[in-house]
Amino acid sequence: MTFEEYVSSRGPALIRLARLLTGDEHRAEDLTQDVLARAYVHWRRIARADRPDVYVRRMLVNANNSWWRRRANRELATADFAERPQRGDLGGETADRDAMWRLVLGLPDRQRAVLVLRYYEDLDDATIAQILDCSPVTVRTHAMRALTHLRERCGLPTTNGSRP
């Protein structure tokens, strides 16, 4: 697979993942472009990996967590998700999604990354562990803490059947 083929097929998914990791649409674009530019330099090696997409997503998560991620923020964000126009509100669903998003956004970076990879990317804990470069046990710990926090903030019982 060429680099261009990879970006063509996986680029949109990476942008969407970056939107959830950064919480800022423009920063997400900058972050993804910066990570892909770095991937381009090492593409021959990345393409030979068993799962190049895992490797690139790890780069994306690490770049977002990096203290030096400002490099990927050359362009100023001009519109935040909170500022985006909303579609019609069906019985308060929009308000509920907004409230849940704010809670997710307020989680520590690693906890939010676990939730995004599990609930949005629908990845198993072993793959998430590969992306985050930690053990599956650590993944489950992050998930448990994040879900506990969300349950508390939503007024739900501390255990309600969510996958730990």
Partner 1 sequence: MTDLDERIVRALRERAEGAVDTDRLTARAVAGGRARRRRRRIGAGGALGVVVLLGFAAVAAPGPAPGPRWPGAEPAVTVAAPSRADGVPGAAARPDLVGSDPEVLHFAVDPARARWLTWQSVPGVESARLDLGGGRQVVFDLGRTAAAVENIHHEGGTYPDVPAGADAFDGRVQRVAPPGPDGQPGWFLRWQPVPGLYARVHTVAGDDSALRTARSALRLDAAHRCASPLRLGALPSDARLSGCEVNAIGFPDSLDVLLLVTRPGERRMQVRLEYYREISGRRTEGNRTIGGRAAYLYPKGDELELLGFPKAHLTARFGWPLHGFTEADAAVVLGGARVAEDLTRPETWD
Choices 28-36, 123-131, 134-142 (CB under 8 A): range interacting with partner 1? 28-36
Residue 101, Cβ density class (10 Å: 0-12 exposed, 13-18 middle, ≥19 buried): middle
Q: Is the dihedral of CA 5, 8, 13, 14 positive or negative?
A: positive
- Asked if 143 contacts 118 with a C-beta cutoff of 8 angstroms, the reply is yes
DSSP states of 36-49:
HHHHHHTHHHHHTS
Q: Is residue 81 at the binding interface for partner 1, with CB under 8 A as the rule?
A: yes
Q: Is 14 exposed, middle or buried (0-12, 13-18, 19+ CB in 10 A)?
A: buried
Q: 79 vs 137, which CB is nearer to partner 1?
A: 79
Residues between 125 and 154 that touch partner 1 (CB under 8 A):
147, 150-151, 154
Q: Which of residues 32-51 bind partner 1 (CB under 8 A)?
A: 32-34, 36-45
- Tell me how far, at minimum, the Cβ of 128 lies from partner 1, in Å: 14
Listed residue (67, 55, 63, 66) closest to 29, CA to CA: 63
Interface ranges with partner 1 (CB under 8 A): 3-4, 7-8, 11-12, 15-17, 19-20, 23-25, 29, 32-34, 36-45, 65, 67-68, 70-71, 73-78, 80-82, 93, 96-98, 100-101, 104-106, 108-109, 115-116, 119-120, 147, 150-151, 154, 156, 160-163
